[in-house]
Structure 1
Amino acid sequence: MIVIAVTGHMDLADDTLPLVRTALREAIAPHAGSGLVGISCIARGADSLFADVVLELGGKLVVVVPSRDYRQAKVKPGHAADFDRLSAAAGEILVMPYDSAGRDAYVAANAVLLERADRLIAVWDGAPPTGKGGTADVVEQAREAGLTVEVIWPGGARRAG
């Protein structure tokens, strides 16, 4: 069995989504026959793309929800159907012991991802950390913990905005 966690940007540009999906499939496919488990917070963008690819490849999905109010407070209407679909497909859902979503809840959720993972895939443009709980911060923590980190940022990829 191999457990792969994900961290990544939520604000991927629309034309970047297929590039990232293809790169994720290439990174994850070699592990598909070895009891693949993917662990994700299934946020919009990289997290959900990763979860979809894990399920497409026959893996088990573990979802980490940062807080009890996360679905209602943080999941935007445009992502709600995907969030609900991925939650329903998960083999396990862990809800962090926080009433409200916020920096502490995200940091705790990321800690669970890293504790349970054998390796981390980061859909990351390489920008430095902007605070605790973001993609760059998770990459730093994973590297400090000795986890293998695979950075995915395909040519032509960009963030929206």
Structure 2
Amino acid sequence: MRVGIIGHEGLSDLTEMLVRGELWQLVTTFGAYDLVGVGRLAPGPESWFAQAVLDHGGRIEAIVPASAARAGTFADAAGNRPGHRLLDRATAVHRLAPVEVGGPGDDTCRALVGMIDELIAVWDGRPGTEPARVVEAAQRAGLFVQVVWPDGCESPA
């Protein structure tokens, strides 16, 4: 099973705790030895999910966007670089060529949706956000989308 992840970055400590717990539970339901987590490994939900997949014996694949701005998302606000540690553990790294299709991140969205069987979206439901665009693309492609936004989560600023 190939499961993609997208999510808001810059979440509060409370939201992190709630989301990490739900992602951990979700990973246990997939039968981790057959699970391949696919995503950018960006700080926040994407790296939390990747680590949970690895902790349960699954594998991860990384999507590295072409744009320099997105490729720099491997460090969080505190300067920690969990994405680089995870990138070293990825069984495949998909480096995207620049594509001028839509807005920023369109190449990543199309690549992610094209590589997965299901999508997990850590998303507060607000339209116009990156998770919203990826969810819409996944639904258009006929993929099952699991939205993770536990009660008590705080939307990012």
TM-score normalised by length of structure 2: 0.87
Identity %: 34
The Cα of 1:56 is off from its aligned counterpart by: 1.0
| Corresponding letter in the other structure for 1:44 | P
Unaligned runs of at least 5 residues, structure 2 = none
* Other-structure match for 1:126: 125
1:157 corresponds to which residue?
153
Deviation at 1:69, TM superposition (A): 3.5
Within-5 A mapping of 1:1-161: 2-33=1-32, 35-67=34-66, 69=68, 73-76=72-75, 78-98=78-98, 103-104=103-104, 106-130=105-129, 134-161=130-157
Report which stretch shifted further, 134-143 or 151-160. Answer: 151-160
Give the stretch that moved more between structures: 63-72 or 49-58.
Answer: 63-72
Cα deviation digits, residues 86-118 of structure 1 (max 9, x gap): 11111111111139xx944x2111211111110
- How far apart, in 1, do the equivalents of 2:20 and 2:72 lie? 27
Instruction: Give the CA deviation at 1:63.
Output: 0.3
Relative to structure 1, the CA distance from residue 138 to residue 111 in structure 2 (aligned partners, 3 Å threshold; closer, same or farther) is same
Following TM superposition, by how much is the alpha carbon of 1:28 offset from its aligned partner in structure 2, in angstroms? 1.9
Matches of 2:19 and 2:27 in 1, distance apart? Answer: 12
Q: Deviations over 1:39-74 (max 9, x none)?
A: 011111111111111111111100001026457744
Secondary structure at 2:9 match in 1: coil
Q: Measure the CA separation in 1 of the matches of 2:71 and 2:134.
A: 25
Structure-2 change in CA distance of 1:32 and 1:63 (3 Å): same
1:8 Cα deviation (Å)? Answer: 0.8
- Structure 1: unaligned runs, 5 residues or longer: none
TM-score (norm 1): 0.85
Please report how far the alpha carbon of residue 75 of structure 1 lies from its aligned counterpart in structure 2 after TM superposition: 4.0
Cα distance, 1:72–1:113 mapped onto 2, change above 3 Å:
closer
Q: What count of residue pairs does the alignment treat as equivalent? A: 154
